[in-house]
């Protein structure tokens, strides 16, 4: 039987990401004069809120040129490339899914950031790094696939330097009620481990992290899905969009996520914590 991590990686694997992104990017380049990193944002910022949410999180991370940043569960590396390009930091991303890492490193080379961003395959519960080597760490929509929140925070705390700051932007439980599936991170509840804000705070504090802020972003989530629905109704899927990474049932997943937020069961939440 496959391990839980193998099942999670399989959920995100399509086998055709490089081809789909290359085709979409070619179409987008023909009509957009935006910077390459910005052109890719629609497909590689795989979290609720997309690029605006990434900007919101990064603004709270107190980033400065030359800092070393770890992006845990980096996916295709969109957030890592944004941080490196905008703030001049050096970013290492870690992700379970080999296809994400392979395609993400190729995209990084294509936009000329391979000297600032490196993506590696690995587990968030066994990070391939020495202790105390990162100034900052980020987690964008990752914990929903990890049951062991204590292990997740312990590993991140281990690799952060004293005083280092962690920003977690995850989907968390904010109310009762069963979730509608499938969603972006899971086809059913067997690989979904959405936890409460209190669970996250407890795990962070037990790992030696001091929680600085907790901010629920329900309205951001509802606005994101409303705009996505309106765009799809008006002009269909864009050349580069999250439908490429979510697969054929992307519309169903997006609808269920919006419904789960609307009924008050979940919300995207920002948690900031500093290593003591």
Q: What sign for the dihedral angle of Cα 134, 139, 142, 144?
A: positive
pLDDT of 149 above 60: yes
The pLDDT, as a whole number, for residue 2 is: 79
Cα separation values, 269 from 31, 124, 157, 201, 203, Å: 34, 19, 19, 12, 15
Strand ranges of the sheet holding 90-95, from the earlier edge strand across to the other edge: 117-121, 90-95, 68-72, 134-140, 160-173, 266-275, 209-216
Predicted pLDDT of residue 99: 98
Q: Is the pLDDT of residue 123 over 60?
A: yes
pLDDT, averaged across the chain: 97
Mean pLDDT of 57-68: 98
Is the peptide bond between 182 and the residue preceding it cis, with omega within 30 degrees of 0?
yes
Tally of CB atoms within 10 A around 106: 17
Domain boundaries, the chain: 4-275
Question: Which residues, 6+ apart, have CB-to-CB distance to 38 below 8 Å?
Answer: 51
**Cα–Cα distances in Å, from 27 out to 24, 85, 131, 158?**
5, 23, 44, 43
pLDDT score at 273: 98
- What is the CATH number assigned to the segment(s) 4-275? 3.40.50.150
Task: Identify the pLDDT of residue 161.
Answer: 98
Q: Say which DSSP state 59 is in.
A: H
Closest CA to 75 of 147, 129, 17, 156: 17
pLDDT, residue 1, reads 57
Binned at pLDDT 50, 70 and 90, residue 89 comes out as: very high
What band does 205 get if pLDDT is binned at 50, 70 and 90? Answer: very high
pTM: 0.97
């Amino acid at each position: 039987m496959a391990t839980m991590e193998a099942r999670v990686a399989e959920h995100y694997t399509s086998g055709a990401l490089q081809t789909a992104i290359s085709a979409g990017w070619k179409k987008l380049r023909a009509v957009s004069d935006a910077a390459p990193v910005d052109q890719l944002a629609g497909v590689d910022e795989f979290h609720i809120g997309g690029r605006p949410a990434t900007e919101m999180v990064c603004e709270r991370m107190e980033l400065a040129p030359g800092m070393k940043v770890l992006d845990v569960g980096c996916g295709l590396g969109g957030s890592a490339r944004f941080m490196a390009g905008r703030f001049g930091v050096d970013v290492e991303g870690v992700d379970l899914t080999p296809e994400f890492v392979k395609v993400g490193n190729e995209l990084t080379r294509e936009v000329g950031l391979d000297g600032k961003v490196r993506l590696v395959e690995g587990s968030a519960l066994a990070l391939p790094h020495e202790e105390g080597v990162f100034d900052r760490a980020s987690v964008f929509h990752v914990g929903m696939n990890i049951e062991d929140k204590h292990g997740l925070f312990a590993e991140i705390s281990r690799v952060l330097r004293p005083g280092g700051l962690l920003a977690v932007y995850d989907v968390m439980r904010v109310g009762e009620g069963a979730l509608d599936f499938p969603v972006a991170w899971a086809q059913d509840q067997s690989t979904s481990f959405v936890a409460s804000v209190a669970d996250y705070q407890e795990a962070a504090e037990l790992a030696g992290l001091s929680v600085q802020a907790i901010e629920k972003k329900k309205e951001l989530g509802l606005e994101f899905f409303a705009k996505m629905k309106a765009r799809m109704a008006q002009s269909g899927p864009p050349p580069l969009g999250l439908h490429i990474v979510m697969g054929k049932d992307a519309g169903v997943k997006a609808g269920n996520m919006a419904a789960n937020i609307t009924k008050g069961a979940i919300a995207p939440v920002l948690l900031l914590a500093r290593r003591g």
